[in-house]
Structure 1
Amino acid sequence: MQPVMSVAEVEAFLVREFPQIYLDGPLYRVESLAPGVAAMRFTASERHLRPGGTVSGPAMMALADLAAYVVILGHIGPVALAVTTNLNINFLRKPAPGDLIATCRLLKLGKRLAVVDCAIAGEGEAALVAHATATYSVPPER
């Protein structure tokens, strides 16, 4: 399945519809969008760290959820009311300081539900720091 939006179109949509994710600056950036796959970069700020200098679990959950939304939007178009119905995450190891990359793959893209697999790793690292699955409800066309 081919994307129906470009990286620039998805980013413009996020800026317009969800400006709150950019309150701390451009911490999230869509890296790529390809058939069935999208990658998103997260640059953690000081407020996203937990004691010990590692990225917090809630910050990684937000990244997984947003990256899942991006891969879905990239393939269905600008549907602001697509919403998360389930997010499951496994934290596998502590991420080293630096950017995290979430690579999300569409497992199912139906008329009403989308299911996404999301792998999160440190930039340039092969070992995953977290793995998530997300299900989104896609509103019916009007």
Structure 2
Amino acid sequence: MELQMDIPALERFVATHFPQMGDDFRVEELTETGVVIRLHVAERHLRPGGTVSGPSMFALADIGMYLAILARIGPVALAVTTNCAIDFMRKPAAGVDMLCTARLLKLGRVLAVGDALLYSEGLAEPVARASLTYSIPPR
């Protein structure tokens, strides 16, 4: 599907509609089927033991899929998550950013389905895998 938003447009959209996210996330790459998103890991993203918290990893997977969809359908703020399941497979590395590779598997008129692999920067194996479904409002 043809891209409707490039990286600067996606980042402006997030800054405008989700200012609470601050500088936590950055779009690294638009791919043929999705996006690569970086989470700038800070102290507020950590849980006891010094590892990245589950809610922070959920946010990374969720925004990854959201932006993969918006890159293809344009700035539809009310596209919403209807389902997300995450498998936490290994402990993220301490003190490094995380990357999410979000991939659209199906982009329909009212539903989008995809998956996301989350990595600690520098590690080859994913630390988590998420399966997400989004509802796309009527246009």
Q: Work out which of the residue numbers 2, 26, 31 in structure 1 matches 2:28.
A: 31
Does residue 10 of structure 1 match 2:10? Answer: yes
Are residue 59 (structure 1) and residue 56 (structure 2) matched?
yes
Write the distance in 2 (CA, Å) between the matches of 1:94 and 1:83.
28
Q: How far apart are the structure 1 equivalents of 2:122 and 2:29?
A: 15
In structure 2, what is the equivalent of residue 119 of structure 1? 117
- Consecutive unaligned residues in structure 2, runs of 5 or more: none
Partner in structure 2 of residue 86 of structure 1: 83
> What residue is the counterpart of 2:70 in the other structure?
73
- Give aligned-pair identity as a percent: 53
Offset of residue 34 of structure 1? 2.3
Separation in 2, partners of 1:27, 1:81: 21
What is the one-letter code of the residue matched to 1:7?
I
Residues of 2 paired with 1:45 and 1:53: CA distance? 11
Alignment of 1:85-104 (within 5 A): 85-97=82-94, 98-104=96-102
Report the CA distance between 1:33 and its aligned residue: 1.0
CA contact (8 A) 1:38 1:103 kept: yes
Cα displacement string for residues 96-132 of structure 1 (whole angstroms, at most 9, x for unaligned residues): 0200000000000000000011000011221000000
Secondary structure of the structure 1 residue equivalent to 2:67: helix
User: Normalized against structure 1, the TM-score is what?
Assistant: 0.94
Provide the rounded CA distance (Å) in 2 between the counterparts of 1:127 and 1:27.
23
Cα distance in 2, alignment partners of residues 130 and 20 from structure 1: 24
Runs of 4+ more than 6 Å apart: none
- 1:72-114 Cα offsets, whole Å, 9 max, x none, are 0011100000000001100000000200000000000000000
For the residue of structure 2 that corresponds to 1:119, the secondary structure is: strand
Instruction: Give the aligned partner of residue 131 of structure 2.
Output: 133
